[in-house]
C-alpha cells in the first residue's frame, strides 16, 4: 500500500481464560486497510476472524477475553490503549460493524425506523422528527422498497435479506470511514447473498468508505474484494491481491478452500474437501498448525512455525513449501 493505511493491526494476540483452560483465539495477526479498500478476511469457523474484528471495535468482554499483545492503530491512536470514552467517540461514528444475525441484533419490539433514528438521536442530538427523516433516507439508500411505509414495521415482518439491509442502514447512519461486515450473507439464499454483496459494493463506491468483509466463503468475495487475508488457527497464513490468491494460491489451506468450491468446469461430484478438522484453540499443534491436515507435510512442519514471507506480486504466504503448493 502506497498511502498511509486507514487502519493498521499489528501482532494482535487475544486469549480467553478460565480456571480450566486458555483459548488462544488470535495469535499474532497483522494487516492494513486503506481508504476505500475492501479487505476480505477468510477462514473456517473458529479461525479467529470475528474475535480479531471485535478487538478492533472494543467489543470483547474482558474478562474472560484478554488482549495479550498488539496494536490497533486508527487516526494516529492505538485503540487498545485509549479510554472507553474515546472509544465511544470512534465506535459507530468512525468504525461501524454489522453482524451476521440481524434478527437477534435488532430489538424485536421496536419499529426498524425508530431503531435507526434512535442511533442518530443519541449520537447526533437530532430531534425525533429529523431522526425519522434521516432514517427514511437511509432505508432508501440501502434499497428497501416502500421505505416510507416499512419504517413502522417490526424486524419479524422483514425477510432475512431486508433485515440485513436495515442493519447496514444503522451502520451507515453516522457516516463511518470503515465498515466491518461480519458474515453479512450467512443464512441467506444465493440470490439474496449476491444482492447484499452488490449493495455493499455500491455503497462503498458512493460513500468512499473502507470495507472489511469477514466470511468463510471464498466465492462470496470474488467480485468485491481488493485483497484477501486467509486465517487459520488464529493466524494469517496467506494474504495478497484477490486475483493472485485465486490464480496462484501459495498456502495448502488456501488451495484446499479453493478446491472445495463448486465450479462449472469441474465434473459433477468431484469436490475435494480438506481432510480432518480445524485444531482446538486450547491445544494448537506445534510448528505449522495446519500440518495435521496438510498433504505436503514434512518433519520441518512439525517443528518450525512458518512466518509470513513475500512470494511475489504483493502476495505473502506462511508455508515452508509454498513453491510446491504453486507447482501443484
Closest CA to 293 of 247, 232, 244: 232
The pLDDT of residue 268 is 60
For residue 25, what are the contacts with CB-CB under 8 A and spacing of at least 6? Answer: 14, 15, 16, 48, 51, 65, 234, 281
Q: Please give the Cα distance from 258 to 249 (Å, whole number).
A: 8
pLDDT attached to residue 192: 80
pLDDT at 199: 86
* pLDDT tens by residue, the chain, 328 residues: 556 788 999 999 999 988 888 999 999 999 999 888 999 999 888 888 899 998 998 888 888 888 989 999 998 889 888 888 888 888 878 899 888 777 778 889 999 999 888 888 887 788 888 988 899 989 888 888 888 889 999 999 888 888 888 888 888 888 889 999 888 877 677 778 888 888 888 888 888 889 999 988 777 787 788 999 999 999 999 999 999 999 899 999 999 888 877 665 555 656 677 888 888 888 899 999 999 999 989 999 999 999 999 998 889 999 999 888 887 6
Helices and strands (H and E) in the chain: how many: 13, 12
Nearest to 321 by CA among 250, 261, 271: 250
All three cell numbers of 309, joined, read 514471507
Q: Is the pTM of this model over 0.95?
A: no
Contact 316, 310 (CB under 8 A): yes
Contact between 266 and 56 under an 8 Å Cβ cutoff? The reply is: no
Query: Backbone dihedral region of 210: left (phi > 0), alpha (psi from -120 to 50 degrees) or beta?
Result: beta
Distance in angstroms (rounded) separating the CA atoms of residues 207 and 46? 32
Structural contact between residues 221 and 196, judged by C-beta atoms closer than 8 angstroms: no
Euclidean distance between CA atoms 35 and 4, whole angstroms: 9
Amino acid at each position: 500500500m502506497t498511502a498511509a493505511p486507514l487502519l493498521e493491526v499489528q501482532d494482535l494476540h487475544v486469549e480467553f481464560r478460565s480456571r480450566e483452560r486458555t483459548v488462544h483465539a488470535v495469535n499474532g495477526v497483522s494487516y492494513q486497510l486503506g481508504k476505500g479498500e475492501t479487505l476480505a478476511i477468510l477462514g473456517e469457523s473458529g479461525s479467529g476472524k470475528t474475535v480479531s474484528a471485535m478487538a478492533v471495535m472494543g467489543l470483547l468482554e474482558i474478562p474472560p477475553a484478554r488482549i495479550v499483545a498488539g496494536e490497533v492503530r486508527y487516526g494516529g491512536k492505538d485503540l487498545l490503549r485509549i479510554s472507553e470514552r474515546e472509544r465511544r467517540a470512534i465506535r459507530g461514528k468512525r468504525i461501524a460493524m454489522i453482524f451476521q444475525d440481524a434478527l437477534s441484533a435488532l430489538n424485536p419490539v421496536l419499529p426498524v425506523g425508530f431503531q435507526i433514528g434512535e442511533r442518530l438521536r443519541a449520537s447526533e442530538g437530532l430531534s425525533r422528527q429529523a431522526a425519522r427523516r434521516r432514517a427514511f433516507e437511509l432505508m432508501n439508500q440501502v434499497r428497501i422498497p416502500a421505505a416510507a411505509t416499512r419504517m413502522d414495521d417490526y424486524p419479524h415482518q422483514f425477510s432475512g435479506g431486508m433485515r440485513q439491509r436495515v442493519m447496514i442502514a444503522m451502520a451507515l447512519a453516522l457516516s463511518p470511514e470503515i465498515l466491518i461486515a461480519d458474515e453479512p450473507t450467512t443464512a441467506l439464499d444465493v440470490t439474496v447473498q449476491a444482492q447484499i454483496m452488490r449493495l455493499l459494493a455500491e455503497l462503498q463506491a458512493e460513500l468512499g468508505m473502507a470495507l472489511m468483509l469477514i466470511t468463510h466463503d471464498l466465492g462470496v468475495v470474488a467480485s468485491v474484494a481488493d485483497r484477501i487475508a486467509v486465517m487459520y488457527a488464529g493466524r494469517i497464513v496467506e494474504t495478497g491481491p484477490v486475483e493472485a490468491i485465486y490464480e496462484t494460491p501459495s498456502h495448502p489451506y488456501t488451495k484446499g478452500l479453493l478446491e472445495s468450491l463448486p465450479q462449472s468446469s469441474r465434473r459433477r461430484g468431484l469436490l475435494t474437501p480438506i481432510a480432518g478438522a480445524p485444531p482446538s484453540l486450547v491445544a494448537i499443534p506445534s510448528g505449522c498448525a495446519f500440518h495435521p491436515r496438510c498433504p505436503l507435510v514434512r518433519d520441518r512442519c512439525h517443528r518450525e512455525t512458518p512466518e509470513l514471507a513475500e512470494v511475489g506480486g504483493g502476495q505473502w504466504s506462511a508455508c515452508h513449501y509454498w513453491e510446491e503448493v504453486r507447482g501443484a
